[in-house]
Amino acid sequence: MTKADIVVLGGSAAGITAAITARRHHPDKSILLIRKETKVPIPCGIPYIYGTLTDADKNLIPDAILETNKVDLRVGEATKIDRAGRAVLLGDDRIEYERLILATGSVPTQPPIPGVDMEGVYIILKDVDYLRQLQRKLQDASNVVIIGCGFIGIEFADEINKIKGKNVTILEVAPNCLKLSYDDEFCEEMETHLRGRGITVYTSTAVEQIAGEGRVREVRLNDGTVIPADLVILGIGAKANVALAKEAELRLGLTGGVAVDRTMQTSDPNIFACGDCAEKISFFGGGPSPLKLASIAQLEARIAGANVFGLRRESDGTLGVWSTAVGDLAMGTAGLTESMAKDFGYDVVSGTVETPNRHPGCMPGAAPVKVKLVFERHSRTLLGGQVRGSVSVGELINTIAACVQKRMTAEDIAMFQMGTHPALTASPIAYPLVNAAEVAITRLR
């Protein structure tokens, strides 16, 4: 039998962050992290194994971070949570805890498509050996079909497209790629960009069957189109991994995750949950949120890790901040897009500005950047923003996220005091964040 003050189940973004945060806030407690994987891939880096990195071992979370923070590690699969005895069963060992943090993540969604279990059809597992197997199979595949045109789908498509001799096709049931993440004008730009890089994109298309004899040979669409396929990748989302929690009779939420309050405490006061396995509430109105992102996972983990021995932090709800890049085109969203805001019932006004991200525009590294901000009409509060541009998108969208989280108004943003430099930012005269707010203010009049 083993004992630890804090036991964390799960070793990816949420589990590691929860353990490190617990160490910082509770330095006198013993902390044990249990994970079933020998090596843990960086979740958001998985697509880049196949083109940019070329090796799964270049995309790993180092164990040194646990050692540095004096977090003990056990590799093995937990089989049961004994809530009454405050213990986790791990093989023949019984590990007792004072507090337990569930960070068991998510599992890929598999659609009810005939042939989905055929040889040559892959899901996106966070398992290094599985990802290596996919890499080996890709070497012999000429025609690769990706079902799902969200972030994972387009990033996998572009990375595989970098391998010589591959014909890559993406299939999407929605009218646009990235439809759940961006307004139409941004989605259409990405589709045009993908096609310009030699990737075939089908939208408003449903898969009727994955077909072949023993292994996949083609994908048949509902309009009768047949696409040759040596390998199929499913990138259509994930669901909370709650098997242990469900067996332990912890309460589940409306979207299937482990129900938690704003402190990340579950229906058992000695158990907290964070990351993809935990139920989410939206920053906008407090309703259920289906979002599963590593950035959300680490925020929830910082709340859970701090709170295990005394409540100190609360979540404001899931804001939703994400970005993606294909070649030299990067896009990001923070909060609500215009279409999302309307679906939520908000009366909105938007402001959009496009300008070079350097000044003058002939400076090295200059590229056009477009910023769209969405405001609630009556309060003038920022609900969200989108950015299209180059590498600077990543940090600019984080700035917009901070503005949303602090409920800044259009006037607040118009009065934003920015720092600029010719080689680093847009001109102070044309700074897109400020000018998008000014455009919206004009429309609000």
Is there a single domain that holds both residue 119 and residue 229?
Answer: yes
Is there a single domain that holds both residue 206 and residue 244?
Answer: no
Q: Are 388 and 186 in contact (CB under 8 A)?
A: yes
Task: Give the three-state DSSP class for 45.
Answer: helix
Is there a single domain that holds both residue 281 and residue 231?
Answer: no
The CATH number that applies at residue 417 is: 3.30.390.30
Is there a single domain that holds both residue 101 and residue 120?
Answer: no
Please spell the DSSP secondary structure of 278-320, one letter per residue: B-EEBTTTS-EE----HHHHHHHHHHHHHHTTS-------B--
Residue 318 in any domain: the answer is no
Is there a single domain that holds both residue 226 and residue 259?
Answer: no
pLDDT at 306: 98
Is there a single domain that holds both residue 68 and residue 143?
Answer: no
Mean pLDDT of 379-401: 96
Is there a single domain that holds both residue 129 and residue 202?
Answer: yes
Residue 323 in any domain: the answer is no
Q: Are 274 and 304 in contact (CB under 8 A)?
A: yes
Q: What is the CB neighbour count within 10 angstroms for residue 275?
A: 33
**Closest to 12 in 3D by CA, of 350, 417, 293:** 293
Residue 372 in any domain: the answer is yes
**Tokens 């590498």 sit on residue:** 391
Residue 227 in any domain: the answer is yes
Alpha carbon distances (Å) from 268 to 17, 80, 84? 21, 15, 10
Which residue segment(s) compose the domain that 58 sits in? 2-106+239-307
Is there a single domain that holds both residue 61 and residue 95?
Answer: yes
Residue 324 in any domain: the answer is no
Over 90: is that where the pLDDT of 214 sits? no
Q: How far apart are CA 244 and CA 282, in angstroms?
A: 25
Q: What is the pLDDT of residues 136-191, one digit of tens each?
A: 999 999 999 999 999 999 999 999 999 999 999 999 999 999 999 999 999 999 99
Confidence of residue 1 (pLDDT cuts 50, 70, 90): confident
Q: What is the pLDDT of residues 49-98, one digit of tens each?
A: 999 999 999 999 999 999 999 999 999 999 999 999 999 999 889 999 99
Residue 313 in any domain: the answer is no
Is there a single domain that holds both residue 269 and residue 245?
Answer: yes
Residue 53 DSSP class:
T
Mean pLDDT of 294-319: 96
pLDDT at 2: 92
Instruction: Give me 303's structure tokens.
Output: 């709340």
Over 90: is that where the pLDDT of 445 sits? no
Q: How far apart are CA 154 and CA 152, in angstroms?
A: 6
Residue 312 in any domain: the answer is no
Confidence of residue 8 (pLDDT cuts 50, 70, 90): very high
Is there a single domain that holds both residue 115 and residue 67?
Answer: no
**Closest to 337 in 3D by CA, of 406, 414, 397, 295:** 397
The CATH number that applies at residue 40 is: 3.50.50.60
Residue 319 in any domain: the answer is no
Confidence of residue 278 (pLDDT cuts 50, 70, 90): very high
Instruction: Give the pairing of strands 218-221 and 78-82.
Output: unpaired
Is there a single domain that holds both residue 69 and residue 91?
Answer: yes
Is there a single domain that holds both residue 205 and residue 269?
Answer: no
Q: How far apart are CA 181 and CA 340, in angstroms?
A: 9
Number of structural domains (the chain) is 3
